[in-house]
Amino acid sequence: MMKIYGNQTLLKQTARMVSAGREPHSMIIHGEKGLGKKEIAKYIAAQLMCEAHTGEPCGQCRSCRLIEKGVHPDLIFAQPNDKGNYYVEDIRDTIVADAPVAPNEGDIKVYVIPDLDLSVQTTVQVQNILLKLIEEPPDHTALILTARSRETFLSTIISRCVSLAAAPVTMQESGEYLQENYPDRDITEIREALEAGKGNIGRCRAYMEKEQYYNSVALAKNLAAAYSEGSEYGVLKALAAADGKKALLREGVYLFSEIVRDSCALLTNGEVIGCDTHSAESLSRKLTLSAGAELYDILTAAVRRIDANCSLSLVCNSLCAELF
C-alpha cells in the first residue's frame, strides 16, 4: 500500500474516526506546496474505502488495489483547466449532480478537489456550489478539498469541514525518501536536494527533477549572498539573469524571502525551513530582527507585484532600489 512520510498524527486522527464509524463527509487539507496534500487525500480515501473498515488501508482488498493503481471508479479527482481554474459547470455536473448516485464499488464515493487556491478566478464560486453538498451530504459520499492555506476557504465551508494541517516531515524522513526513490543518484546530489527542500519532500523532488526549481534555489542563494555582502551590483546581476522569466523570478525571490525569514528565526533560536541554511546564517550575523522584518516585507511585496503581472524589469529595478 502507498507509503506516507510523516503526518502520522493527522492520519491517526482520520483512522480513529473511520474505525469508530464517524467518517467525516467533508475535509480540508491545508499546507504549503510540496507537503504531499494530494497523496494524503488519496491515503484518506483508502482509509474510507478499504473493505476492512479498520481505519488502516489493508492494501489487499479490491478497493485498496484499485486505489493503488489509480483506477478506482469511486475515487474522483477534479481536474482544473490549463490555466489552473476549475470550471464551475464541471464541478456542478461531475460532483454535485453526481453525488446522489450510488457508488459503483463498495459503500462510499470520494471526491477530491486539489489545489483549490490556485483556481483564483473561480474558487469562491466553486465553494458556493459545494456548500449544499457539504451541508447535506449523502451518506455514501465524502469530499476532500486541498489548498496551501486554510484562509482560502469561506467561513461557511470551514465551519462544516474537518480541517487537517499537513506538516513538514523530519530531515531523516526526507533523506529516507530520497535514498529510496533515487537509488542511482550521487550522495552529494541527495544532500543538496535535502538541504534545498528540508522537510518538504515535494521541494526535494523538484530539486532533483525540475530545472526551474534548481535554478530558483540558485537565484535565491545568489541574491542572499550579494545582499549579505552589500553588493548592489551582485543583486542586479542575479535579478538580470531572471528578467523575462516570470516563474523563475517569482520563485527565486520567494525563496530568498524564506532565507530572510530563517535569518530572523536564527536570532530567536527558531527553526530553519528555507533552501539554504548557510545563507540564513550569514544574513543573521548582519541583520537585526527589525531590519529582517523590513527586508522580508520588501521581498513579499515584490512577489505580489510579480503575481499582479507588473513589468518584470520594473520589478527587478524597484526591488534593487528598495533593498539598497
pLDDT above 70 as % of the chain: 100
CA 14 – CA 39 distance, rounded (Å): 14
Q: Which CATH number belongs to the domain containing residue 244 in this structure? A: 1.20.272
Once rounded to an integer, what is the mean pLDDT over residues 140-145?
Answer: 97
pLDDT band at 271 (very low <50, low <70, confident <90, very high): confident
Residue 77 lies in a domain: yes
How much is the pLDDT for 197? 94
At 108-132, the pLDDT tens digits run 999 999 999 989 889 999 999 999 9
> Based on the domain organization, do 268 and 158 belong to the same domain?
no
Residue 94 lies in a domain: yes
pLDDT band at 1 (very low <50, low <70, confident <90, very high): low
Domain end marker among 165, 197, 229: 165
Domain that holds residue 157: 8-165
For the chain, the C-alpha Rg in angstroms (whole number) is 22
Residue 266 lies in a domain: yes
Once rounded to an integer, what is the mean pLDDT over residues 14-23?
Answer: 93
Q: What is the count of structural domains for the chain?
A: 2
> Based on the domain organization, do 15 and 152 belong to the same domain?
yes
Domain end marker among 109, 142, 165: 165
Report the chain's mean pLDDT, rounded to a whole number: 94
How much is the pLDDT for 225? 96
At 46-79, the pLDDT tens digits run 999 999 999 999 999 999 999 999 999 999 999 9
Residue 1 lies in a domain: no
At 166-213, the pLDDT tens digits run 999 999 999 999 999 999 999 999 999 999 999 999 999 999 999 999
What string of DSSP letters covers 193-222?
A: HHHHHTT-HHHHHHHHH-HHHHHHHHHHHH
Residue 179 lies in a domain: no
What string of DSSP letters covers 144-185?
A: EEEES-GGGS-HHHHTTSEEEE-----HHHHHHHHHHH-TTS
Q: Which CATH number belongs to the domain containing residue 103 in this structure? A: 3.40.50.300
